Amino acid sequence: MAITTLNIPIERAEVSKIEQVDFDNLSFGSVFTDHMLVCDYKDGQWEPPKIIPYQAISLEPSAKIFHYGQSIFEGMKAYKDSEGQVWLFRPLDNFKRLNISANRMAIPELPEEYFMEGLKTLVKLDAQWIPQKEGSSLYVRPFVFASGKGFHASPADEYKFLICLAPSGSYFSGKVKVLIEEKYSRAANGGVGYAKAGGNYAGQFYPTQLAIRKGYNQVIWTDDHAHEFIEEAGAMNIFVRIGDTLITAPTSDRILDGITRKSVLDIARDEGIPVEVRKISVSEVVEAAKNGSLKEMFGAGTAAVISPIAGFGFKEVDYELPEIEDSYASRLKKRITDIQFNRSEDKFGWRYKV
Amino acid sequence: MAITTLNIPIERAEVSKIEQVDFDNLSFGSVFTDHMLVCDYKDGQWEPPKIIPYQAISLEPSAKIFHYGQSIFEGMKAYKDSEGQVWLFRPLDNFKRLNISANRMAIPELPEEYFMEGLKTLVKLDAQWIPQKEGSSLYVRPFVFASGKGFHASPADEYKFLICLAPSGSYFSGKVKVLIEEKYSRAANGGVGYAKAGGNYAGQFYPTQLAIRKGYNQVIWTDDHAHEFIEEAGAMNIFVRIGDTLITAPTSDRILDGITRKSVLDIARDEGIPVEVRKISVSEVVEAAKNGSLKEMFGAGTAAVISPIAGFGFKEVDYELPEIEDSYASRLKKRITDIQFNRSEDKFGWRYKV
Ligand SMILES: Cc1ncc(COP(=O)(O)O)c(C=O)c1O
Ligand SMILES: Cc1ncc(COP(=O)(O)O)c(C=O)c1O
């Protein structure tokens, strides 16, 4: 672990809001802790971060975030073990991905120390906000947006980096029904799909609303050329089990390189599960559903953890997935959450003590 | 003109900033007038707009604009004629396009009256800010963004619609050199390219920076499948003149349906110029450049008006365009600006008196 000389100044909230929170009935990402980290980019550099009470931000109407969508974010969770120790899961990977997103969106890269030390200091400060109910966690949201001014479609000269914390319940309630998309698309070849950029999400809302109206929870995105191959879901990478083989699409410039996805791949291999990382055609999945070899589908992501998919729709036909004893989804979910909550050995070195 | 009962309340700025502005040296979109229009969407409906002094906006860090890129905008100009009368150009088309963008980005549609009456009232109020120097104008920026809260990738429940005004000089200084893109893309089939959505612009910044470093001003986007066909530029539709024929790409779900583009098409037809709206392959343009039949290329958009292109790069080769007497670009620019500034007859009915 790096020795740091960074001392992040903390301005404490005068009164804590924690007593107002019903920790037994948390929804996802709608309650926020007492503090937040802020860090400004000005005059060509990131200024040192500071921690202040959670509060509103004041911006000029001409700030570029309002006009040109220059924004990126990350999503992580902080976990508390039975002894009250606090853990993060592979946070350096989130940091690296934030800077990959930053590059693609012409946002200046963040220094590692500002991110990592800021994260640790903030999570430590608000550690009493980490829910301990099974299925709940403290969702950690680092984000960067263009605060620089001007109605000119060009990168801003000022940015803000913040980290906010939200004690959260589970992302989906119950099993998920998905629609395999055949008209709309999430990402272009050579586009920004691999970046965790704001605009990638807004673009999904309308097609997802259409799917929700038809009775689905989520859209599974396919390539924009012929809607032939399965890519990913709104905020999850997608795994398919055909026979005993676990398959997921390779990452590309259209797909987010999910940290849960790559952890699942490592754990599955470790479990001796046959794994394939290759293109998955929709027709292969439909065929497998018809002949009974499609045993499971699930989504994998920080927010949703591992979310079993109960069925999917494609071209106006619904396909149900069987209920499976000892499913890959539940085995893999147990392995990954046991590591996250410090209930098991951490053979991959993913746990990060706060 | 519709009879309206809408009476937009105006809170006037106590002191005007107009004396501080150097109207002879305006850049584009970096000085703002004394007032702005604001309108809030809450509890399932748009509240009536009001006009207030230009001022900062306060937002929660969890406002969805910062995370999920749910934002759309329009770009228009207000013109003052030699008698001091104020004009807009086809503003109803901007209103309609704003709602097309709103639908795609899952933003609630705006009522026509709020947009049109708000626009007129604001432009009238700040009419003394309209520059009268040739090439300058008052840039009008209506925009809508998600102010509703939550770290959940779903449409917000609250929005803000604003109109701000910026007295502006020309968008480009001098002739434009463009790079025909062969790696990055602006839009996906089935994506949001036809919407004036924030994220479409941020995604262009990085490839545009690369092009600028190579000595170009702008990228010309091509299809994301094979980079075979010319689509549009950052904030302009593209026209190509081969021999005496003026050609532009058809609109699609990847291309913004530009108001300048369709006006140019109408004027060109009216001028007796042979016009084709069809796919333009890059190889056709390169071939025409080589054999001398490529006479002109220009961009068309509200901000840039009509911007002649001096040359283009493709696959590491630069192609220069000839200097043309009586170019289509200059003829069409004169026709359109004469209509906009009330210097000529308005046979198409495009001018709109404020
Ligand atoms: C588009 C998209 N795909 C996949 C994921 C899963 O990535 P991770 O496992 O790193 O959370 C996310 C969420 O973070 C996402 O937004
Ligand atoms: C991507 C894009 N294409 C084209 C245009 C030109 O459209 P209009 O002529 O309506 O301004 C614009 C600018 O408004 C634009 O942003």
- Domain A176-340 indexed as CATH 1.25.40.10: no
ipTM value greater than 0.90: yes
| Ligand 1-lining residues (CB < 6 angstroms) | A 75, 196, 232, 235-237, 256, 258-261, 301-302
Q: Sketch the domain layout of chain A as residue ranges.
A: 18-168, 176-340
- Give the residue from A35, A66, A216, A220 with the most B CB atoms within 10 Å of its CB, the best one to mutate: A66
Q: Do residues A214 and A178 touch, judged by C-beta distance below 8 A?
A: no
- Give the residue from A72, A109, A151 with the most B CB atoms within 10 Å of its CB, the best one to mutate: A151
Q: Do residues B97 and B260 touch, judged by C-beta distance below 8 A?
A: no
> Could you give the angle at the alpha carbon of A226 between the alpha carbons of A220 and A229, nearest 5°?
45
What number of C-beta contacts closer than 8 Å exist between A and B? 252
Burial bucket for residue B304 (CB in 10 Å: 0-12, 13-18, 19+): buried
Please state, in angstroms and rounded to a whole number, the distance separating the CA atoms of residues B112 and B84.
27
**Closest ligand 2 atom to Cα of B237:** 4
Q: Do residues B25 and B173 touch, judged by C-beta distance below 8 A?
A: no
Q: Which of B28, B33, B90, B22 is nearest to B303 (CA)?
A: B28
The class (CATH top level) of B18-168 is alpha beta
Please state, in angstroms and rounded to a whole number, the distance separating the CA atoms of residues B330 and B323.
12
Chain A residue numbers touching B54 (CB-CB < 8 A)? 61
Q: Which of A195, A202, A236, A235 is nearest to A98 (CA)?
A: A195
Please state, in angstroms and rounded to a whole number, the distance separating the CA atoms of residues A204 and B154.
9
The SS3 assignment for A174 reads coil
User: pLDDT tens, position by position, for chain B (354 residues)?
Assistant: 445 578 999 999 999 999 999 999 999 999 999 999 999 999 999 999 999 999 999 999 999 999 999 999 999 999 999 999 999 999 999 999 999 999 999 999 999 999 999 999 999 999 999 998 888 999 999 999 999 999 999 999 999 999 999 999 988 877 799 999 999 999 999 999 999 999 999 999 999 999 999 999 999 999 999 999 999 998 999 999 999 999 999 999 999 999 999 999 999 999 999 999 999 999 999 999 999 999 999 999 999 999 999 999 999 999 999 999 889 999 999 999 999 999 999 999 999 999
Subunit contact A145:B59, Cβ cutoff 8 A: no
- Which pLDDT value is given to residue A119? 98
Please state, in angstroms and rounded to a whole number, the distance separating the CA atoms of residues A89 and B104.
35
User: pLDDT tens, position by position, for chain A (354 residues)?
Assistant: 445 578 999 999 999 999 999 999 999 999 999 999 999 999 999 999 999 999 999 999 999 999 999 999 999 999 999 999 999 999 999 999 999 999 999 999 999 999 999 999 999 999 999 998 888 999 999 999 999 999 999 999 999 999 999 999 988 877 799 999 999 999 999 999 999 999 999 999 999 999 999 999 999 999 999 999 999 998 999 999 999 999 999 999 999 999 999 999 999 999 999 999 999 999 999 999 999 999 999 999 999 999 999 999 999 999 999 999 889 999 999 999 999 999 999 999 999 999
Instruction: Please list the helix, strand and coil fractions of chain A in percent, rounded to the nearest 5, in that order.
Output: 25, 30, 45
| DSSP 8-state assignment for residue B49 | P
The SS3 assignment for B331 reads helix
Residue A89 neighbours by CB under 8 Å, 6+ apart: A76, A77, A79, A259, A263, A302, A339, A340, A350, A351, A352
Residue of B nearest to A209 (CA): B106
- Ligand nearest to the Cα of A198, by number: 1
Subunit contact A28:B199, Cβ cutoff 8 A: no
Subunit contact B187:A188, Cβ cutoff 8 A: yes
Subunit contact A70:B205, Cβ cutoff 8 A: yes
Among the partner residues A36, A58, A188, nearest to B56 by beta-carbon distance: A58
Subunit contact A168:B151, Cβ cutoff 8 A: yes
Q: CA distances (Å), A11 to each of A18, A42, A143, A166, in order? A: 17, 22, 20, 19
The CA distance from B3 to the nearest CA of chain A, in Å, is 31
- Which pLDDT value is given to residue A174? 77
- Helix H or strand E segment including B86: strand B86-89
Subunit contact B189:A225, Cβ cutoff 8 A: yes
Chain B residue numbers touching A172 (CB-CB < 8 A)? none
Please state, in angstroms and rounded to a whole number, the distance separating the CA atoms of residues A271 and A248.
16
In degrees and rounded to multiples of 5, residue B112 shows phi and psi of -55, -40
The SS3 assignment for B314 reads strand
Please state, in angstroms and rounded to a whole number, the distance separating the CA atoms of residues A220 and A180.
5
Tokens representing B289?
């450049």
- Helix H or strand E segment including A213: helix A198-213
Residue B73 neighbours by CB under 8 Å, 6+ apart: A66, A67, B98, B101, B141, B142, B143, B144, B196, B198
* Burial readout B246-255 (b: 16 or more C-beta within 10 A, e: otherwise): bbbbebebbb
Chain B residue numbers touching A185 (CB-CB < 8 A)? 188-191
The CA distance from B145 to the nearest CA of chain A, in Å, is 6
Chain A residue numbers touching B208 (CB-CB < 8 A)? 154
Please state, in angstroms and rounded to a whole number, the distance separating the CA atoms of residues A330 and A320.
18
Chain B residue numbers touching A77 (CB-CB < 8 A)? none
| Ligand 2-lining residues (CB < 6 angstroms) | B 75, 196, 232, 235-237, 256, 258-261, 301-302
Q: Do residues A267 and A336 touch, judged by C-beta distance below 8 A?
A: yes
Determine the residue of B74, B140, B256 to mutate for testing ligand 2's pocket, defined as the one with the most ligand atoms within 8 A of the Cβ atom: B256
Full-prediction pTM beyond 0.80?
Answer: yes
In degrees and rounded to multiples of 5, residue A239 shows phi and psi of -115, 145
Among the partner residues A57, A139, A153, nearest to B234 by beta-carbon distance: A153
CA–centroid distance, B119 to ligand 2, in Å, is: 19
The CA distance from B160 to the nearest CA of chain A, in Å, is 10
Among the partner residues B106, B152, B198, nearest to A69 by beta-carbon distance: B198
Q: Which of B6, B187, B20, B36 is nearest to B113 (CA)?
A: B6
Tokens representing B145?
């963004």
In degrees and rounded to multiples of 5, residue A141 shows phi and psi of -120, 95
- Give the residue from B28, B51, B68, B180 with the most A CB atoms within 10 Å of its CB, the best one to mutate: B68
Helix residue spans in chain B (DSSP H): 65-68, 91-104, 112-125, 198-213, 259-270, 282-291, 328-340
Query: What's the one-letter identity of residue A7?
Result: N
- Which pLDDT value is given to residue B3? 52
Chain A residue numbers touching B62 (CB-CB < 8 A)? 29-30, 32, 164, 166
